Chains A and B, each alone.
Chain A
Amino acid sequence: MTSKRDHAGWLMLDHRDSPGFSEAEMRKANPRLKPTAGKGLYETNVVHCRHCQKGLIVHPLLMADLPYCHLCDAYICESCKVTMAASGQHMPFDKLADLIQERTLKGLPPTITLERPHG
């Protein structure tokens, strides 16, 4: 049986032979990770937003808390969720790529940008 967890990537920070990051440095370097991630070996899931492809750090047991797009049947980022709710438009990455490709093949500049899903 497949699970949405199968759609997650993997991130490893290995500071076992390194001073690593202090908690303050870790908050500055990557506030999405837990502050102690800069010490020793740290592994986590990374889910990519289906609309903009940003990497979302998430605890494997808390994936259900991520914003979800029922049209894509996939997780998306907070920003894309808000944009979709505000604009009423569903703009997954593949649709965006199709629109840009269509304009490119017609010799037109891509007027649609990825900034759009983020307002």
Chain B
Amino acid sequence: MANRIVSVTTLTLTAFADTTNLTDATYPFLLQGGSSTQRSDILEIYWGGQSTSSATAFLILSRDSTVAATNSYGTGQMDASMDPSTAALAAPALTGNSNTTKPQRSSTLHLLNLSGNAYGGVVRWVAPPAPFGPTVYGNTQPLGEVSFSCFTGGSGIVGAHMVYSTY
């Protein structure tokens, strides 16, 4: 088991409707299983608003109906282990927000609505103890990927992180 944090220092959100391509570096992050049988628990999501005027950030954690391919990190985005002694996984879970095949948010499988005002607002969600929280299972849709992205009508500049545990 490995607890890790994917984070982005600052990011200008772009709003996307469900089942449309999430374009590169316009949403905080996604999490995809590293193999067809890997499981990851999502433990915490935090975002803090960095806008200089009111902006309604409609941030949604959702399963993806199209999973990303060839994933990489955008500017200011990183994935780090929580424990310095963490051994490298043979098949690490994939995080990032830049891809060749773009992910698409499912229209029916939104898991959490973490909306807030990106002008100074802070939103934090902490998962219930396992196994009662959301998980990513495998690496294909519908269970193999979740994304954290801004829904239609939203905007803003945010910094964010997500804690997850892969095993």
A-B contact count (CB 8 A): 131
Asked if A38 contacts B113 (CB within 8 A), the reply is no
B interface residues, tally (CB under 8 Å): 42
Those of B102-161 within 8 Å (CB) of chain A:
108-117, 119-129, 131-135, 137-138, 140-143, 153
Q: Is A59 in the interface zone, CB < 8 Å from B?
A: no
Q: Is A46 in the interface zone, CB < 8 Å from B?
A: yes
A6→B133 CA distance, assembly (Å): 12
Q: Is B36 in the interface zone, CB < 8 Å from A?
A: yes
Q: Out of A30, A48, A50, A101, which one reaches B36, CB within 8 Å?
A: A101
Q: Assuming A15-B117, A18-B119, is B132 touching A55 (CB within 8 A)?
A: no
Chain A positions within 8 Å of B, measured between CB atoms, are: 6-15, 17-21, 25, 28-30, 32, 38, 46-48, 50, 52-55, 74, 93-94, 96-97, 100-101, 104-105, 110, 113-115, 118
Chain B positions within 8 Å of A, measured between CB atoms, are: 36-37, 39, 49, 54, 56, 58, 61, 63, 108-117, 119-129, 131-135, 137-138, 140-143, 153
